[in-house]
Amino acid sequence: MLKEQFQYWYNLRQEANRCDDPEKANRLKRNIDQAELNRVYYDYFFEGFMKSLLTRYLPLFLMLAYVNEAFKPSQLLERFGRTYVIKVPVHAGEPILMGSVFWFFLCVLFSYGLCSLGKSIGKKARTRRPPSQGDP
């Protein structure tokens, strides 16, 4: 609905821009901008921002809070006998110990990478044209 309102006021502004008298066109555009177009634009932007926040970022932050609380180093030590999730060996020096939050970020990045790879492979498969019967 906000997108339709924005398109309506934007088209009305474009129509005012085509007015023969440039001074009148500027006044009409300014009135439209001040009256409705800016309000509808910011409402439309805010709705998209909140929708993105609620559907993408809030679940990630909630899961991160759970991982941080459930897999604290003391909890890991109690359950598994060590305070880290993974130990990465390094040739010179001490190994790198990865905690639960860092591992969570790696898993999220890896899953986003797999999803984008799957989408690109699927797009290539859909755009590939099957050979016709007469082609050699």
Kindly list the domain boundaries of the chain, sorted by start residue: 1-47, 83-127
pTM: predicted TM-score of the whole model, two decimal places: 0.58
* pLDDT tens digits in sequence order for the chain, 136 residues long: 767 877 777 777 777 777 777 787 777 777 776 677 677 777 778 888 888 888 888 999 999 999 999 999 999 999 999 999 999 998 888 999 999 999 999 999 999 999 999 999 998 888 876 666 655 5
Write out the E strands in 12-100: 86-88, 96-98
With left for phi above 0 and alpha for psi between -120 and 50, is residue 81 left, alpha or beta? left
State the pLDDT at residue 133: 66
d(CA 22, CA 110): 55
